[in-house]
Amino acid sequence: SALLHSQRGPRCSKCHAKTVHEHLKVAAMHEDTGYALAALEVGADPTAVQAMLPGRRTALMAFAAAGDLRACQRLAADEALCQRMDEFHSRASDYA
């Protein structure tokens, strides 16, 4: 597995710098579905603080704004994530 465990949670054994949650954040910032799905597959938590984008936006919000149905379907499995609001008081559905 490409994961190492530390006090901050699962870490990537390839780059040794980012947690899997931070990899999800980078994937969302670049609208990279494959990268995001890989991060989720190995345990990235889309509700983790390290996965948040600027403005307290979630990966779901970023992929909704990009119109990426595949990523949204995977991320929307977490109902609490669907209801989360960013600092602008917007939900993922507002970005879609």
pLDDT tens sequence across 23-57? 999 999 999 999 999 999 989 999 999 999 999 99
Distance of CA 66 to the CA centre of its chain: 14
What's this model's pTM, rounded to 2 decimal places? 0.83
Q: What is the pLDDT of residues 70-87, one digit of tens each?
A: 999 999 998 889 999 999
Question: Which residue(s) pair with 11 in the sheet?
Answer: 4, 19
pLDDT reading at 8 higher than 60: no
Residue 6 to residue 52: CA distance in whole angstroms: 20
DSSP-derived secondary structure letter, 62: H
Residue pair 40/6 in contact (Cβ under 8 Å)? The answer is no
Backbone angles phi, psi at 25, to 5 degrees: -60, -45
Q: Which of 39, 33, 35 is nearest to 67 (CA)?
A: 33
